[in-house]
Amino acid sequence: MTEEVRIDKWLWAVRLYKTRSQAAEACRAGKVKLGGVPVKSSHDVKVGEVYEITIEQLHKVVEVKALLGNRVGAKLVPDFMNDLTPAEEYERIQMIRQYNFERRDRGTGRPTKRERRDLDEFKYNN
């Protein structure tokens, strides 16, 4: 294991983001926080720190168990990270997915530009 690891590299290594550049972008956008304060992608991770991470609509809380510099298999992720996200958060996301399911009748074709705008307005502003 390594002694110093950047937060963007660690987030990518424990499979919270698909690419390191996505992890760095999340840091720049303020979606990765330590104690409620956004961190830069160059922040060095320390064992025991608890991060709040926003991935799309999910607000995850993770604790660093160990440092690593390279990406690991999904089965090994629990060795490096504790998921402290409350069960209610996963239930909330499940409810959102259940109600955001779009269905169109067969044969009606793609939505028009106006219909798409109306759908987006309804989905994202309610």
Residues 4 and 58 in one domain: yes
16: tokens are: 């919270």
**What's the CA gap between 85 and 13, in Å, rounded?**
19
What does the pLDDT look like over 19-68, one tens digit per residue?
Answer: 999 999 999 999 999 999 999 999 999 999 999 999 988 899 999 999 99
Starting at the edge strand found earlier in the chain, the sheet holding 50-55 runs 37-38, 32-34, 50-55, 58-64, 81-83
- Both structure tokens of 34: 């330590």
Tokens of 107: 């044969």
Q: What is the pLDDT of residue 125?
A: 77
74 and 58 share one domain = yes
DSSP 3-state assignment of 51?
Answer: strand
Residue ranges making up the domain that contains 20: 1-85
Q: Which one has a higher pLDDT value, 93 or 74?
A: 74
Q: How far is CA 36 from CA 52, 53, 60, 113, in A?
A: 8, 10, 13, 40
On the question of pLDDT at 101 being above 70, the answer is: no
- The average pLDDT across 69-84 equals 93
User: Do 81 and 93 lie in a common domain?
Assistant: no
How many independent structural domains does the chain possess? 2
Whether 80 and 105 map to the same domain: the answer is no
Q: What is the mean pLDDT of the chain?
A: 90
